[in-house]
Structure 1
């Protein structure tokens, strides 16, 4: 009976995709949503309320890295109102599952059982769960990547070569890395240039850049400009050693900068190379397209991990899909190529991936527990003052708190308000207090350090400290240690190994 139920599910794409979505539901109860998702969602809300793509009312600014996801979110907010988040996350999970099903059809065209197992196991890997369930645009992005590979390289549909590059570039401009590597794979298979694909890429680039220039008055998204300015002096370490640690930290699953993380990642890459070698050595002419596709995704994954590590991109979500693609190759190797004691190996692989699923659930719970008791609490405390767009706040980051309070926002990176970047360019050391004095925010939220502490992001010249203390009062402190100490036992143990979070200090402008 169990076998017949499994066969029925695996033979139905609808039931298989539904099962992958059901498996992901526990992730939603961890209450872990990536902070930057709320930036995109607020931009979408701003578009709905003001008819302007921006963050603060009528001010135009490309505060989100993704235009397409902004429009999709706006549609969900229009349909579901303030309850749009769960339907949107479910939609993202469905798109990721569909993309994984397309991959399964490429890799296992005739074996329904392997196809179903592949889809289920890929969807419960940590990077797949993060891409599907944490609110960012990566469920959509994986769907588009997979669509281009399946309908383009595998099915040779001309419409796919035009539509998918345009949609990819409107989702994220950095997809040019993938599109460039895909172009080489396509030329290898076709033995000629694909001018429809070139046209799609050109129109995608021109339309995005043209839209940015005509609507925002800038060539690239403001987020890129803001990070370039804000992070110029925030590089943790310029050494080769640190760069290699970062490469392993973001390329792998272990979130710790150490030589052990580096060694484990290198060992994983050796195994990946071995698996890819065995796949390529397998004599099956009918699988030649599959081999090209697997080389394509490995090349893209390692290229993006390496490029973004070199440029010190300190954001884990950039690396989610590269990790997913590496898992695609590993799964294919074990399900199709590996020949040692099939039943034992199959059981071991399933147990390993179920363990990884549990690992991601715990990881998400540790973050969600902290966010619920700190930044969500800060938003609740601000809302108790009945704040709105008429009150302003200077803080970092610009995700959860501005989204749930609706306040006019200055963020310390300048992602959502370019006036901050102007102050950084004028004075690299005292831009923060200069911003406070110039913009006079009603509330200030500092992270890790109090305002005025030396060797922090909030230095105040001696002659200006008195004026700041006269104008602002510290109204509440949000110590991270208290959250760690009162957490359930399993979380206390995890926080002890890898402390997550920092202290926050909330200041309020005194009544004149």
Structure 2
């Protein structure tokens, strides 16, 4: 009876997608949205309002990491206006679900039940929830990744080797890592070079670089240049041990920079190696093509984690899809290789993945509450007083607050305003204070510390200038947010004290 009911749901892609959306409703309700998604959404709004891809009116700048998702966000804002956020999140989640169904069809071509279990469990994993629900471009990126694997590697459709590489590079330029690994996988399967695939990759890369050069005057997105300049001295520790800690911190699910985080991640990789030994053994009746695909997704995941850790890319969202791809062989092992009584096996697997789901949901509500009580509140306070392009602010980060206030923005990394980067080049130590003197922003929002000291460097005369021209209007202490949080969230804050203090200044 239960099997017939599940077969009815799992055999319908529409119903399966609906189930995945129901799973993700609590994440939507948590109000957990990645800060950088607001940068992309403001660029999209800027395009609609000014006809320019930029952040501050008619100033051209590739402040968003993704051209394709920025364009899609502009379409959603054009249709839904200010209420576009939930529709675009649902759209991203639908595309993610379709991508997971494609992967399920590769791994379980003739077993509808296992395919359905795979799709549901896969969509419950923490990286699946973050990739599809937090507003970034990764739901679309996974859809395109899965499309290339399904229609390209698995079904060998020639059009897929042209269309998907172009769309992938227009979504994120670092998708070239994924394309390189899949090209090698295709070479192993075909045993000859796929020139159509090469054409697709070249067209995608050349078209994006040409667009960036002719429109923005630079080959790569400005975000890459800005981060490279702003974060070059972020971490003075260059020991190999530190790299491995970073690798485990971003590669795993536990956000603690410690030896035991590395130990747990290495234990997981050990289990993954064991699972692969079973998958690749001659006893397992698995097609050569599926084995190559499973190896390829893991190679991509580990390669991207290693490259970005070496490059000191300290942003969690870069690692969402690599983490996600590591779950594919794990689920395949449990659903297709592992032998146990169904009576024990099905509840055990669901219980384990439900635990992961609750783990991410708890984190999302914790972060969402913090954002709502702090950065969203700062935006409300500023908007109530004055907002719009005729007023300016220096702050970090450049997501939520500029999006809701519409203020002309200088951010401390220079992601959305090149003039900050120019100041960094001219004076590596006193660039922030020089920016305040030169740009005379109406508002200044500092993070963690007040001006002066180790980060917001000032000379004695700078401090006099600052005190004469700016006054502190409000402090937003993170301890107050933690203290007033519901008990269930407060407990998490004690384990992982996320968030920092903010200090809002106004020009006299």
- TM-score bracket, normalised by the shorter chain, equals over 0.9
Distance 1:286 1:499, change over 3 A: closer
How far residue 286 of structure 1 moved from its aligned partner, in angstroms, is 5.6
Question: Matches of 1:341 and 1:222 in 2, distance apart?
Answer: 54
How far residue 236 of structure 1 moved from its aligned partner, in angstroms, is 5.3
Match for residue 492 of structure 1?
490
Match for residue 463 of structure 2?
465
Unaligned runs of 5+ in 2: none
Match for residue 418 of structure 1?
418
Q: In the alignment, is residue 95 of structure 1 matched against residue 88 of structure 2?
A: no
TM alignment of 1:338-487, pairs within 5 A:
338-452=338-452, 454-455=453-454, 457-487=455-485
How far residue 282 of structure 1 moved from its aligned partner, in angstroms, is 4.3
Match for residue 158 of structure 1?
158
* 1:203-248: CA deviation from partner (whole Å, max 9, x where unpaired): 1010000000000000100000000100011125222222111100
Paired residue secondary structure (1:393): strand
* 1:156-189: CA deviation from partner (whole Å, max 9, x where unpaired): 0000000000000000010111111111110111
Distance 1:16 1:279, change over 3 A: same
How far residue 283 of structure 1 moved from its aligned partner, in angstroms, is 3.8
Question: Matches of 1:232 and 1:142 in 2, distance apart?
Answer: 30
TM alignment of 1:191-210, pairs within 5 A:
191-210=191-210
Question: Matches of 2:343 and 2:325 in 1, distance apart?
Answer: 25
Q: In the alignment, is residue 57 of structure 1 matched against residue 50 of structure 2?
A: no
Match for residue 105 of structure 1?
105
Contact 2:132/2:139 (8 A) holds in 1: yes
Question: Which 4+ stretches in 1 moved above 6 angstroms?
Answer: none
Paired residue secondary structure (1:272): helix
Question: Matches of 1:435 and 1:258 in 2, distance apart?
Answer: 37
Q: In the alignment, is residue 178 of structure 1 matched against residue 175 of structure 2?
A: no
TM alignment of 1:243-392, pairs within 5 A:
243-283=243-283, 287-392=287-392
Match for residue 19 of structure 2?
19
Question: Matches of 1:483 and 1:285 in 2, distance apart?
Answer: 55
Contact 2:222/2:415 (8 A) holds in 1: yes
TM-score computed with the length of structure 2 as normaliser: 0.99
How far residue 90 of structure 1 moved from its aligned partner, in angstroms, is 0.2
TM-score computed with the length of structure 1 as normaliser: 0.98
Question: Matches of 1:22 and 1:418 in 2, distance apart?
Answer: 42
Question: Matches of 1:53 and 1:24 in 2, distance apart?
Answer: 31
Match for residue 78 of structure 2?
78
Paired residue secondary structure (2:499): coil
Paired residue secondary structure (2:287): helix
How far residue 284 of structure 1 moved from its aligned partner, in angstroms, is 5.5
Match for residue 135 of structure 1?
135
Contact 2:448/2:501 (8 A) holds in 1: yes
Question: Matches of 2:343 and 2:96 in 1, distance apart?
Answer: 28
* 1:121-140: CA deviation from partner (whole Å, max 9, x where unpaired): 00010000000100000000
Question: Which stretch shifts more, 488-497 or 416-425?
Answer: 488-497
* 1:349-405: CA deviation from partner (whole Å, max 9, x where unpaired): 110000100110000011000000000000000011131111000000000000000
Unaligned runs of 5+ in 1: none
